Structure 1
Amino acid sequence: MDRYPDISEHGLIGDLQTAALVTSDGTVDFFCCPRFDSPSVFASLVDAERGGHFSIKPAADGYVTKQLYFPDTAMLITRFMTKDGVGEVLDFMPVIEGAPTDRHRLVRHLRVARGTMRFELQIQPRFNYGRAKHTVELAEEGAVFRADDGMVLTLHVAGMRETPSERAKVEQAGDGLRAVFEMREGESGRGVMLESAGGKPKAMTAAELDQMADDTAAYWKSWVGRSTYQGRWREMVSRSAMTLKLLTYEPTGAPVAAATFGLPEQTGGERNWDYRFTWIRDGSLTMHALANLGYLVEAGRFNLWLRDRVAEQAGSASGPLKIMYRVDGTSDLVEETLEHFEGWRGSRPVRIGNGAADQLQLDIYGEALDALYYFAEQGAQIGHRGWQELSQIVDWVADNWDQPDEGVWETRGGRKDFTYGRFQCWVALDRAIRLAGDTGRPSNLAKWVVERDRLYNQIMDRGWNKNVGAFTQHYSTDVLDSALLFMPLEGFVAPQDPMWQSTLRAMDKQLVSDSLVYRYNPAASPDGLHGDEGTFSLCTFLYVDALARSGRLDDAILTFEKMQTYGNHLGLFSEEIGPTGDQLGNFPQAFTHLSLINSALTLNRELERRAAHPERIAAIEQLAASV
């Protein structure tokens, strides 16, 4: 495999507090511990020499690999096929429920299905983003790696020191270790467990490995079984739901935007961000998607996390919410560059932290209120404190919506009157008005209604560009923005409205490339950054949804099916798709997977409507084609 594997050549495993990426040739090349946003232990994905890795693969060249998930679980199987035999590694992390912990376990369970296989294990940790030195202590039962920043990893072994064929050769390799061993057909129960805060190494039994695997599989099968989804595309919807769950920090209920940092939106480019944090927007949309599948407990826990953030920001001049936080709710996200990391295929700079954390992005209030409104529609109760916090948000939006902001895409080209931010402020006010009416709670209802209507009229007057025949990115531009595909999804415009149909046709021409959708044109709308980017996968799925609602169901289905061909071998998606179909950006991306779920739900609904009322749907489609 290339020194830097394709971004798509990975599977994701995790324990609901952190996660690891495993390449299709059996290398853990990304792992942060003890949390998603903690320093990396393995990060050869962004620096092959200094990042660190943990590999298990055949000792000889000339093998073929295949990868799959154990059905209905987040347990990853990597299979190796050689002329002498077929072997596999089952990678998983036992799920941790409850309070945060420093103890995390990464299990690598080996089996030979046919013939014989000679495996090579290499582990080369690089603590604190490759900045901390460490020592290694070998023992009969494994090894201990001690970093000078206090981090300790223990490697426990199961059946690795003795095999029927030969004694395994375990040796120190620099400040890591290497082991070579042979297994024969039918052998299993051998493997290793890497554990943080794990104490002394111990020789594990095959029964212990099997029990951990059984317990982990049972958890995931039970969780998938809670889904209410019964429609088409079940497998890809379930995989996307599990991906969102893997990206959610269980102790607080806060989801991260992606598992990684530093992966580029353009190979060799500078758009390389850290996405291991909780954006209000991404989190709200994630929980909305999970709630759509019946996962109301997850949605409820995020709402409690969100309420606590509002309470912390009470009285702040910047508004009741920041745009992003760490998973524990803290907001120390100072951006820095890892100068010693070369970046994936030379894509520098590699950044950690996020300098956009203090931006003003007005849209976050609409996404949060829309998710809360949907949650309430499903029967969730809003308590007194919760209503007070919600009212505080809405009062602030009513007083502050009419100002420039940095926009949904976190551009670094200055504040503008972004149409999407104004539209989402309309959503926030509209959902709050509905909730006040439904619950009879005290509110500044008259003011909310006045400001909602002012917003609507302003967007229709200034956000609509007569020369372009479309709603545009901000009030002073001709540039289109695919974020506005949310407009019909969230009820701001009717899908059949001539203004929306004209906007959709303009996007067809300017933002769509063989069904894939760009966010906007950076050349026409300078965003303060150099270089280009790929098509944005969230936007492609938003396009599917908009097509389906606008009477172009056949186009929507074709676009949805085409998009599946860009997913990786496991059904996972990164942030963007490059010019040659390669995945780009941080991986896997919550935005992409939540929008896949929503698109599948919309397509199912529209297909059922077409089957139940074919004449009515045909008339609507004919009307749409004529406007």
Structure 2
Amino acid sequence: MTETTIAEHGLIGDLQTAALVTTDGSIDWFCCPRFDSPSVFGALLDDERGGRFRIRPAGACASAQMYHPDTAVLITRFSGPDGIGEVVDFMPPCDGPATTRHRIARLVRCVRGRMTFDVVVAPRFDYGRRPHQAMLVANGAVFIARDTSLVLHAVREPGDEHLAETRIEGGDVHLRLTLDAGQVRGVVLETDSAEPPREIRVADFEALFQSTVDWWRGWLARSTYRGRWREIVLRSAITLKLLTYEPTGGLVAAPTLGLPEELGGERNWDYRYTWVRDASFSVSALLALGFAEEAARFGNWLGDRIREGRGGTSGPLAVLYRVDGTTDLREESLAHWSGYRGSAPVRIGNDAAGQLQLDIYGEALDSVFAADRAGFELPHQGWEALRAALEWLGEHWDQPEEGIWETRGGRKRFTYGRLMSWVAFDRGIRLAGTHGRPAPVEDWTWQRDSIHGQIIDRGWHRTRNAFVQHDTGDELDAALLRMPRTGFLPATDPLWLSTLDAIKTGLVTDSLVYRYDPAASPDGLAGAEGTFSLCSFAYVDALARAGRLEEARTAFEKMLTYANHVGLYAEEIAPTGEQLGNFPQAFTHLALIDAAVTLDAVLG
């Protein structure tokens, strides 16, 4: 079983796929050629059958991990009785069209003394379902599995033959590399290469490292954020960039699948896709940091999805898409994998794609509205697509749905879905009025006001003295923490302040926020889950907007202590403080940025 915890990982990527690197130098998660492609290394979910790419010292060593400042280049440092060494991991950015060629570069350096590193390249193609052959050749090795291949290039200097011992064992390549202080060597693993392994000189490898560092620093220099929490906010921005599929601009919810929301439980989902909701939230977060180009590219992605207009009872928008905009997301289980710490089933695909979630229309329109205020033009064709979406929503908003949390316990009239439907019409009305767009504004105004009235009449629970999850119960829902952010009610309105107090009492535990109580609000799944980090940061935002600045800042600072050693967050936090769920999660980092920006504004 997997011994490394979820939090003991750093993330590297090239803007089309990504890899997780453990604190002991093992890449135990990597899919290619895209985020949503089958895995090549998957030891994170099955230590025996998943496959890994490990570089670490031969003897016992302590390790520590950090990012090269202001980059996505990861450094894992080892110290032992014989010396100090480090492995520098990066993937040169692929910021052009979609490609099947990706490179994982692993620079190995001895800093002091003498160190011997063991390198193991053990791929397991197609989630470990496809056999492969391995061959040692001049300057490296080749792995072949039916319609895909990997090439391992050696980084060395002439006369280095004495430094390395190489062998094949069970389809895996093993290499032992002994270095003295100051020596630098390494390997580059390349997918779908048209060339055989080649010898890469150290100077060329260091130049590749420097160009990658320069690329990330050049990108980050575009940020306009000058707030109090620059380091963690910009690390979140880099993480969001790493989770963006550059060819389309789609943002994946996470680069992983199957990481549990409860250890040993069944809440193990595939998050390697683009949710309309998550990606829409990214627009305001990225704009707030000055990354207008990324926000605009997602706007183009969203516009393409709206113009495609699927139609039918599920609406013109799907809940989620593959990174290329397709919707083939049939859910199945990998029965041959044990799962993270025995958490099964391990699911690939996601049946939530076929659910009805009404809130996505409000999030989509809100992102378009934010982009419009930032100066981006909405073309006529895009406006017509939005009109069509609002026409569909006008006929369908008043019905049960699965909701933002994608419950599998039956449809309900969720208050949050109503709230975001109100947002959709409100933003449509504003866009039409600002630019004189042709629109049935009177009808949209009637729809908006009808929804507002229904939320007040049915979403408000008089005994609970709070807005509740749906109109047939009194359960609380942390999704409603976004209510003041939408403008539905002022952040200091008595109805909202009473709701905030109820959420504090019922769902908050020392700054950590549960999204709802599964026992009180059955969601069709067995077991429980941890606190939801998106909601914890949304709680900070809501406190700040309500003027409760001391509470907000304390809650925010406490949340920062739950980040892992390189500033990354999974989806949830267990009662033990352990990170749970897919990792790192875009939703969490988006909410962190929103909370930091709001706090900066109100603190002055």
TM-score category, normalised to shorter length: over 0.9
Aligned residues: 603
Measured after TM superposition, the shift of residue 317 of structure 1 is 3.8
CA-to-partner distance for each residue in 1:334-375, whole Å, 9 max, x for gaps? 000000000000000000000111000000011111111011
CA-to-partner distance for each residue in 1:511-553, whole Å, 9 max, x for gaps? 0011100000000111000000000000000000000111110
| Aligned with 1:108 (options 103, 106, 109) | 106
Residue aligned with 1:155, SS: strand
CA-to-partner distance for each residue in 1:117-153, whole Å, 9 max, x for gaps? 11000110000000000000101311000013x1100
Conserved? CA contact 1:160–1:191, under 8 Å: no
Residue aligned with 1:274, SS: coil
Counterpart of 1:592 in structure 2 is 588
Counterpart of 1:342 in structure 2 is 338
Measured after TM superposition, the shift of residue 316 of structure 1 is 3.4
| Aligned with 2:577 (options 581, 584, 597) | 581
Change (3 A) 1:379 1:167: closer
Residue aligned with 1:137, SS: strand
Counterpart of 1:39 in structure 2 is 38
Gaps of 5+ in 2: none
Residue aligned with 1:138, SS: strand
Counterpart of 1:155 in structure 2 is 152
1:193 maps onto 2:191 in alignment: no
Q: How does 1:450-489 map to 2 (within 5 A)?
A: 450-489=446-485
CA-to-partner distance for each residue in 1:430-482, whole Å, 9 max, x for gaps? 01110001000100111000000000000000000001010000001110000
For 2:595 and 2:572, locate their aligned partners in 1 and report how far apart those are by CA, in whole Å.
17
Counterpart of 1:219 in structure 2 is 215
Aligned residue identity for 2:45: V
Conserved? CA contact 1:395–1:444, under 8 Å: no
Counterpart of 2:390 in structure 1 is 394
Counterpart of 1:7 in structure 2 is 6
Q: How does 1:342-491 map to 2 (within 5 A)?
A: 342-491=338-487
Change (3 A) 1:48 1:314: closer
Change (3 A) 1:162 1:539: farther
| Bigger mean CA deviation after superposition, 307-316 or 230-239 | 307-316
For 2:367 and 2:69, locate their aligned partners in 1 and report how far apart those are by CA, in whole Å.
30
Change (3 A) 1:161 1:323: farther
Residue aligned with 1:183, SS: strand
Measured after TM superposition, the shift of residue 314 of structure 1 is 4.8
For 2:487 and 2:390, locate their aligned partners in 1 and report how far apart those are by CA, in whole Å.
19
Counterpart of 2:289 in structure 1 is 293
Counterpart of 1:611 in structure 2 is none
Residue aligned with 2:36, SS: coil
For 2:163 and 2:393, locate their aligned partners in 1 and report how far apart those are by CA, in whole Å.
69
Conserved? CA contact 1:288–1:374, under 8 Å: yes
For 2:168 and 2:313, locate their aligned partners in 1 and report how far apart those are by CA, in whole Å.
56
1:94 maps onto 2:92 in alignment: yes
For 1:210 and 1:15, locate their aligned partners in 2 and report how far apart those are by CA, in whole Å.
17
Measured after TM superposition, the shift of residue 4 of structure 1 is 2.5
Gaps of 5+ in 1: 609-627
For 1:338 and 1:524, locate their aligned partners in 2 and report how far apart those are by CA, in whole Å.
31
Measured after TM superposition, the shift of residue 221 of structure 1 is 0.2
For 1:319 and 1:507, locate their aligned partners in 2 and report how far apart those are by CA, in whole Å.
32
1:60 maps onto 2:59 in alignment: yes
Residue aligned with 2:539, SS: helix
Measured after TM superposition, the shift of residue 89 of structure 1 is 0.7
Counterpart of 1:613 in structure 2 is none
For 1:452 and 1:426, locate their aligned partners in 2 and report how far apart those are by CA, in whole Å.
5
| Aligned with 2:133 (options 135, 143, 149) | 135
For 1:354 and 1:161, locate their aligned partners in 2 and report how far apart those are by CA, in whole Å.
50
Residue aligned with 1:50, SS: coil
Measured after TM superposition, the shift of residue 60 of structure 1 is 1.0
Q: How does 1:243-258 map to 2 (within 5 A)?
A: 243-258=239-254
Amino-acid identity (%):
56
Conserved? CA contact 1:289–1:598, under 8 Å: yes
For 2:351 and 2:264, locate their aligned partners in 1 and report how far apart those are by CA, in whole Å.
20
| Aligned with 1:122 (options 120, 123, 132) | 120
Counterpart of 1:505 in structure 2 is 501
Change (3 A) 1:467 1:395: same
Conserved? CA contact 1:15–1:94, under 8 Å: yes
CA-to-partner distance for each residue in 1:146-195, whole Å, 9 max, x for gaps? 013x110000011289549x44110002111111121111112x100000
Aligned residue identity for 1:68: M
Measured after TM superposition, the shift of residue 257 of structure 1 is 0.2
Change (3 A) 1:491 1:318: same
| Aligned with 1:323 (options 298, 316, 319) | 319
CA-to-partner distance for each residue in 1:591-626, whole Å, 9 max, x for gaps? 000000000000000001xxxxxxxxxxxxxxxxxx
For 2:117 and 2:379, locate their aligned partners in 1 and report how far apart those are by CA, in whole Å.
57
Measured after TM superposition, the shift of residue 313 of structure 1 is 2.3
Residue aligned with 1:520, SS: coil
For 1:395 and 1:12, locate their aligned partners in 2 and report how far apart those are by CA, in whole Å.
42
Counterpart of 1:69 in structure 2 is 67
| Bigger mean CA deviation after superposition, 494-503 or 303-312 | 303-312
Measured after TM superposition, the shift of residue 212 of structure 1 is 1.1
Measured after TM superposition, the shift of residue 112 of structure 1 is 1.2
For 1:314 and 1:565, locate their aligned partners in 2 and report how far apart those are by CA, in whole Å.
43
Counterpart of 1:623 in structure 2 is none
Aligned residue identity for 1:103: R
Conserved? CA contact 1:160–1:168, under 8 Å: no
Conserved? CA contact 1:152–1:196, under 8 Å: yes
For 1:248 and 1:471, locate their aligned partners in 2 and report how far apart those are by CA, in whole Å.
35
* TM-score scaled by length of structure 2: 0.99
* TM-score scaled by length of structure 1: 0.95
CA-to-partner distance for each residue in 1:540-575, whole Å, 9 max, x for gaps? 000000001111101000000000110000000000
| Bigger mean CA deviation after superposition, 510-519 or 286-295 | 286-295
For 2:157 and 2:458, locate their aligned partners in 1 and report how far apart those are by CA, in whole Å.
69
Residue aligned with 1:192, SS: strand
Residue aligned with 1:272, SS: coil
Residue aligned with 2:118, SS: strand
Measured after TM superposition, the shift of residue 396 of structure 1 is 1.4
Change (3 A) 1:578 1:225: same
CA RMSD of aligned residues (A): 1.1
CA-to-partner distance for each residue in 1:283-302, whole Å, 9 max, x for gaps? 11122211111111111111
For 2:529 and 2:160, locate their aligned partners in 1 and report how far apart those are by CA, in whole Å.
50
Conserved? CA contact 2:2–2:340, under 8 Å: no
